[in-house]
């Protein structure tokens, strides 16, 4: 049951990254592909019906984490208190930027909230990437299962790490580049020229950067925490993950060059999912490794809830997922197709 819930939490987090990832990515390129108020409004229309629903997956994953691994929830939410507050503020600022920009018919007002929305989106991508980097690298857990990390220490990877060091900054950059690509491909799918043309240009410019930072992150991960390769040695099937990542990068480039929108977007979706699956596979059974002493690491076994609760919870989780997936299928089907540049929408 512990392994099953580990897979469930990882699946829900991956779903959040894929779905809200294109919202965040659209926000990152918002000021680049939208040159006029009408064009920016069209970009917002591409995510307007779904962005707040996509963020529910983050809340649902947090709730599932609390239910299945309560000790992990308690430790990580106390240790990561400062960055979590920053993430919450960035999530709120993104929503404020979307909802308030058209409340006053002023270019200054709209321009201010456009910058708030775009900047919050970029910083959110970096913070999410840095958070994953902290989990992969390990945190200074004590014997009681708790830890504290300052925002930074000496920028080196060691036993007493800060939230930001060279490795977590690199993972933040990877997330920024990956979500920018994902968002640009989504905008291509949902808009018409000139917006889609600019978004395609962004994709072609940033693809080589994505390739480079992906290779750098893999090399850096093996250097910073070589024991993550243990599962790949024990279970060779996991070696398929790098090949899937390479295939996904190829799909993105080919789809962008050949103007095959669906193929390119499927490639970025596969890339994000494969990178996250690879990280989860490498960490298992750890859910929060210790940088101080491996014996202090939090695993699926020493953080899980009671077996009976996990068993009963599966039933309610399945029912909840049926309702959620039905809702998302309905929303995405209702708002399929491209957004017209002249489209108008209340509140956007």
Q: Give the tens place of pLDDT for each residue, 264-310.
A: 999 999 999 999 999 999 999 999 999 888 899 999 999 999 999 99
Confidence band (pLDDT; 50, 70, 90) for 344?
Answer: very low
CA 112 to chain CA mean position, Å: 25
The token pair that represents 187 in the structure block? 């905008």
The token pair that represents 170 in the structure block? 């690199």
What CA–CA distance (Å, rounded) separates 169 from 142?
24
Give me the pLDDT at residue 190, please: 93
Give me the pLDDT at residue 347, please: 42
**C-alpha to C-alpha distances, 178 to 121, 196, 211, 236, nearest whole angstrom:** 13, 18, 10, 26
The token pair that represents 328 in the structure block? 């998302």
Please check the confidence at residue 40 and state whether its pLDDT lies above 70. Answer: yes
Please check the confidence at residue 44 and state whether its pLDDT lies above 70. Answer: yes
What CA–CA distance (Å, rounded) separates 275 from 285?
17
Nearest CA to 51 among 8, 91, 87?
A: 91
Between 162 and 185, the more confident residue is 185
Half-sphere exposure of 17 (CA within 13 A, CB side): 27
The CA angle 220-22-211, to the nearest 5 degrees, is: 30
Q: Give the tens place of pLDDT for each residue, 52-90.
A: 889 989 999 999 999 999 999 889 888 888 888 999 999
Q: Give the tens place of pLDDT for each residue, 86-106.
A: 999 999 999 999 989 888 888
Give me the pLDDT at residue 49, please: 85
DSSP string, 173-222: HHHHHHHHHHHHHHHHHH--TTHHHHHHHHHHHHHHHHHHHHHHHHHHHH
Q: Give the tens place of pLDDT for each residue, 319-337.
A: 999 998 998 999 888 888 8
Task: Give the strand pairing for 298-299 and 286-288.
Answer: antiparallel
Please check the confidence at residue 343 and state whether its pLDDT lies above 60. Answer: no
The token pair that represents 75 in the structure block? 């430790």
Nearest CA to 117 among 92, 142, 137, 141?
A: 92
What integer best gives the mean pLDDT of the chain?
91
Give me the pLDDT at residue 348, please: 39
Give me the pLDDT at residue 129, please: 95
For residue 259, what is the DSSP state? Answer: T
Which run of H or E residues covers position 135? helix 107-137
Instruction: Return left, alpha or beta for 139; rule: phi > 0 is left, psi -120 to 50 is alpha, else beta.
Output: beta
Confidence band (pLDDT; 50, 70, 90) for 342?
Answer: low
Residues of the chain with pLDDT > 70, as a percent, come to 98
Q: Where are the beta strands (DSSP E) in 224-339?
A: 286-288, 298-299
Q: Give the tens place of pLDDT for each residue, 107-133.
A: 899 999 999 999 999 999 999 999 999
Q: Give the tens place of pLDDT for each residue, 144-160.
A: 888 888 888 888 887 78
Please check the confidence at residue 12 and state whether its pLDDT lies above 90. Answer: yes
pTM of the complete model beyond 0.85: yes
What CA–CA distance (Å, rounded) separates 9 from 277?
11
Q: Identify the burial level of 143 via C-beta atoms within 10 angstroms of its C-beta, where 0-12 means exposed, 13-18 middle and 19 or more buried.
A: exposed
Give me the pLDDT at residue 96, please: 93
């Amino acid at each position: 049951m512990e392994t099953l819930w580990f897979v469930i939490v990882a699946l829900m987090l991956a779903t959040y990254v894929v779905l809200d990832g294109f919202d965040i990515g659209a926000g990152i390129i918002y000021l680049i592909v939208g040159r006029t108020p009408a064009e920016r409004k069209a970009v917002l229309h591409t995510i307007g019906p779904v962005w707040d629903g996509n963020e529910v997956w983050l809340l649902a994953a947090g709730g599932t984490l609390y239910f299945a691994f309560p000790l992990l929830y308690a430790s990580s939410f106390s240790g990561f208190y400062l960055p979590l507050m920053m993430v919450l503020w960035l999530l709120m600022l993104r929503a404020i930027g979307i909802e308030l920009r058209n409340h006053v018919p002023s270019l200054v007002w709209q321009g201010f909230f456009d910058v708030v929305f775009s900047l919050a989106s970029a910083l959110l991508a970096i913070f999410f990437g840095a958070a994953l980097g902290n989990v992969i690298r390990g945190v200074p857990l004590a014997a009681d299962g708790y830890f504290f990390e300052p925002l930074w220490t000496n920028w080196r990877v060691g036993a007493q790490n800060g939230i930001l060091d060279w490795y977590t900054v690199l993972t933040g950059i990877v997330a920024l580049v990956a979500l920018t690509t994902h968002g640009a491909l989504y905008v291509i799918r949902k808009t018409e020229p000139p917006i889609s043309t600019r978004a395609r240009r962004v994709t072609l410019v940033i693809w080589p950067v994505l390739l480079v930072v992906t290779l750098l992150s893999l090399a850096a991960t093996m250097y910073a925490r070589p024991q993550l390769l243990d599962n790949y040695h024990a279970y060779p099937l996991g070696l398929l993950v790098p090949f899937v990542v390479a295939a996904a990068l190829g799909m993105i480039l080919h789809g962008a060059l050949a103007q095959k929108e669906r193929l390119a977007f499927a490639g970025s979706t596969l890339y994000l999912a494969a990178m996250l699956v690879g990280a989860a596979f490498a960490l298992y059974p750890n859910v929060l490794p210790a940088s101080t002493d491996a014996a202090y690491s939090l695993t699926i076994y020493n953080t899980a809830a009671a077996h009976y609760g996990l068993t009963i919870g599966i039933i309610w989780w399945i029912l909840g997922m049926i309702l959620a997936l039905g809702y998302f299928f309905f929303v995405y089907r209702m708002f399929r197709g491209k957004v017209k540049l002249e489209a108008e929408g209340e509140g956007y």
